[in-house]
Structures are given as structure tokens and as C-alpha cells.
Amino acid sequence: MDDIIIVGAGVGGLTLGLALHAAGIPCRIFESAAEIRPIGVGINLLPHATRELASLGLEADLAKVAITTTDATFFNRFGQLIYQEPLGRAAGYDHPQFSVHRGDLQMVLLDAFRARAGSDRLLTSHYCTGVDQDESGVSVHFSDGAGGAHRSTIRGRMAIACDGINSAIRKQFFPGEGEPRYSGVNMWRGVTRWKPILSGASMVRAGWLSHGKMVIYPIRPASEADGLQLINWVAEIETPIYRKRDWNRPGSIEDFIGAFADWHFDWLDVPALIRAADSVLEFPMVDQDPLPRWSFGRVTLLGDAAHPMVPRGSNGAGQAILDARALTSALLENNDPVAALASYEKQRLEATTRIVLTNRTNPPDAILREVFQRTNDQPFAAIDDVISRDELVALSEGYKRIAGYSKEALRR
């Protein structure tokens, strides 16, 4: 009854579980899947997120499975360099930027939680169907799967929904919200074993959405056997047709390879990289309009359940990690659970709303949009003739300030 009930064992839920355990606050995590497996593709952890994970004693474990990213590099679709800047410790931050397979990150968090809190603190095959509450606590209702026949109810002190954009608890409090908002951009994502590209720790953005854009970065260190890294790539193209998001929908290379057929650069053969993928997944780039509130008495939302955002700023997982830190701090500072959740919401709702809206209009790849528009999608003789370095720096630094990971913000 004293446990905080965490719904979902993704990045946000596991980080929250670790943070609460470190603070001496009892919790249990309930995951809908029967087995937690290392699935997914690549994600980035920016310095504000790695700082929080380091405070939980996880930096060394992450460094073993991730790439310590050193630079962001922007190109047009002709392979011409637009802008390059250092990242993480290479840029003077106190903490690194990691590019990592989502499954590897989840396993690091999962192993740490089970080792520290105990395996009995995480239960699988618990699909949340809703929550009730009274003056003394919450009752979280579960089935053994979507539409499962076996039902159970768990009592706790409060409930935290960390179960993503399709959260049952979010839908309970906002039943008329409707389907996720489609950005007009479809994504195909894959991973390919490939020789190191550029610095071997570069995050590459190239092209633009109307004609095809790529995001490419390594997510696992090179194998000693063949020297190949695991490279994550994302192909993004403006596409009017919306197909409902399914994280497991296989994608067909022939549906999008045409946009990149002539991307043969001296530093990378993009079509060859795509065709060498182990597998390809397809899903639309979606988010939801920011909510007016997350907390309802003893229940609140966290991560994608609270603020799903389009993946344009390498920031979704990071914001869930920051949520976990803020919620833990609020619980330590407030004995009343209702006051604690209200304090957490006050700290995080406005900040994440800004990021959700900025990711729609001016994420870091706005640099590519500016050059595309100014050159009318033609090669340039010199980038300084198109856009000044001061403008490029301003675009990049502006996003960092909004997303909360400028060096000044972290020092504060």
C-alpha cells in the first residue's frame, strides 16, 4: 500500500524506479509485455539526460554499450558540408552525449533496477486498463494483455503513468483527445553494420524533408572481429498518407529508396547503407497537442504519456529522464502526495510544452531547411555565401536553450 505504482518499464518508468529506490521511496513497476526484450532502434541521450543517469551510477555501464558522440554534422542532399559542431564533452559539457540502441539502454536500466530494488519489484504481463483513487491511495487495474481475460487490481500510494503515447491512464483523463497528430512526415528506420563514418562518432543530418532527409549515427562500438559499427539511420520524407503508428510494422526499402538513389558521397554511399540494413521499420512521425495538466490527485503522467513529441531534437527519452528526476525531487520535498504531483507538474509541464511545439517548427535540423530554401535545392559554391556561421550557431544554440541543455542552463 505504501508503494508508488509505476505503469510501464520503458526508459521513463525504469529511470523513475531507479531514482525512487535511490531516494528510499518504495515503488513497483508493472509492464504490459510478457517479457522485456532489447528491441527498437537508436536514440540519443543529451548531456542533461546523461547527467541524471550518471547521478544514478549508470554512466560507466552506458559507455560500454553506447557511442560517445563527438560531433553534429549537417549536409545538403549533394553531400556538401553545411555546418559542424562538437557535442557532449567535446563541446565542453561536464557529461557526454551518448548514441545508443534503445534496447541496450533499456537493458542497462532494467538490470540496474532488478539488482538494486529486487526482481520482485517489477512485474510483467500487466496491461493497465485504468485507475481509481480515494483519500488513502490508488487502485490500478490490470489485465494479462490487451483484452486479456485475467484481471487484477493493485493498491498503492499513487500511480505514475509511464506507458507511452497510447497510455490508458492518459486516455482515461482525456477521453476525447483523439488519435496522435500526424506531422506529414513518414519515417523508415533501420540499423546497418557498416564501417565507421566520418569521425566514427558523428551524428549526421542531411537533405530536407520535401525531397528526403537522412539522420545517421552509430549506436554500438565497432566489433573487434570485423571493425564494423552498428549504424542507426532514419529516412524521413513528407508523405500525405497517414498510416496508424505501429512500432513493429516492417518497412519496404522500395517505398523510399528512390529519394536517396543518387546520394553517393565521398564519405558515404547512402543507398548501399540502406540496402545493407538488418531490417527496416516504418512509422509516421506523430505527437499530441500539449495537455493543460498531467496530475489528477494521486495520479500523474510522465514521459511520452505526458508529452509525446516528434523525434526531431534527440530529446524524447531525455525529457522522460528529466521528468523522473523532477518527480523524485518533488516527492522528497512534499509529504502530501497530491502536493508533490502538483509541484512536479508545475516544474515540467511548461518546459516540455515548449519543446513539443519547437520540435514541430524549429528543431536542430531547421539548419537544413534554411539552406534548402535559400539555395532552392541547388548545390552551393560556398556555404558562407548562403548563410553565415553566426546564423547557424544561433539556430543550434536556440534549440539547446529551449530544450534545457545549453551549458549555461546545466551550470545553473
Tell me, what's the pLDDT at 147?
A: 73
Helix %, strand %, coil % for the chain, to 5?
35, 25, 35
pLDDT at 274 over 90: yes
Task: List phi, psi (to 5°) of 104.
Answer: -65, -40
Tell me, what's the pLDDT at 246?
A: 67
Is 268 within the bounds of a domain?
no
Is 410 within the bounds of a domain?
no
Task: Say if residues 214 and 234 touch (Cβ distance below 8 Å).
Answer: yes
H helices of 74-217, in order, are: 102-117, 168-173
User: Average pLDDT of 373-377?
Assistant: 96
What is the band of 218 on the pLDDT scale with cuts at 50, 70, 90? Answer: very high
Tell me, what's the pLDDT at 357?
A: 92
Is 349 within the bounds of a domain?
yes
Higher pLDDT, 372 or 364: 372
Task: Say if residues 204 and 71 touch (Cβ distance below 8 Å).
Answer: no
What is the DSSP track for 293-346?
A: ---BTTEEE-GGGT----SSSS-HHHHHHHHHHHHHHHHHH-SSHHHHHHHHHH
Is 57 within the bounds of a domain?
no
Task: Say if residues 197 and 218 touch (Cβ distance below 8 Å).
Answer: yes
d(Cα 326, Cα 20) in Å, to the nearest integer? 11
User: Average pLDDT of 396-404?
Assistant: 85
The amino acid sitting at 65 is: V
Task: List phi, psi (to 5°) of 203.
Answer: -105, 115
The neighbouring-strand residues paired with 16 are none
Closest CA to 27 of 46, 14, 44: 14
Tell me, what's the pLDDT at 247?
A: 64
Closest CA to 48 of 356, 351, 359: 351
User: Average pLDDT of 328-352?
Assistant: 97
The average confidence (pLDDT) of the chain is 93
Q: What is the pLDDT of residues 150-186, one digit of tens each?
A: 889 999 999 999 999 889 999 999 999 988 899 999 9
d(Cα 8, Cα 160) in Å, to the nearest integer? 9
The neighbouring-strand residues paired with 141 are 130, 153
| Range in 41-50, 243-252, 283-292, 365-374 the model is least confident about | 243-252
Is 141 within the bounds of a domain?
yes
pLDDT at 293 over 80: yes
Task: Say if residues 331 and 280 touch (Cβ distance below 8 Å).
Answer: no
The amino acid sitting at 168 is: A
Is 173 within the bounds of a domain?
yes
What is the band of 404 on the pLDDT scale with cuts at 50, 70, 90? Answer: confident
Is 297 within the bounds of a domain?
yes
The amino acid sitting at 134 is: D
- Into how many domains does the chain fold? 1
DSSP conformation class of 227: -
SS3 258: helix
The amino acid sitting at 225 is: A
pLDDT at 145 over 80: no
Tell me, what's the pLDDT at 245?
A: 65
In CATH, what number is assigned to the domain containing residue 139?
A: 3.50.50.60
What is the band of 368 on the pLDDT scale with cuts at 50, 70, 90? Answer: very high
Is 331 within the bounds of a domain?
yes
Q: What is the pLDDT of residues 93-139, one digit of tens each?
A: 999 999 999 999 999 999 999 999 999 999 999 999 999 999 999 99
What is the band of 76 on the pLDDT scale with cuts at 50, 70, 90? Answer: very high
Q: Which three cell numbers stand for residue 134?
A: 480515494
Q: Which domain, by its residues, includes 310?
A: 4-41+103-179+289-361
User: Average pLDDT of 12-35?
Assistant: 96
The neighbouring-strand residues paired with 5 are 28, 159
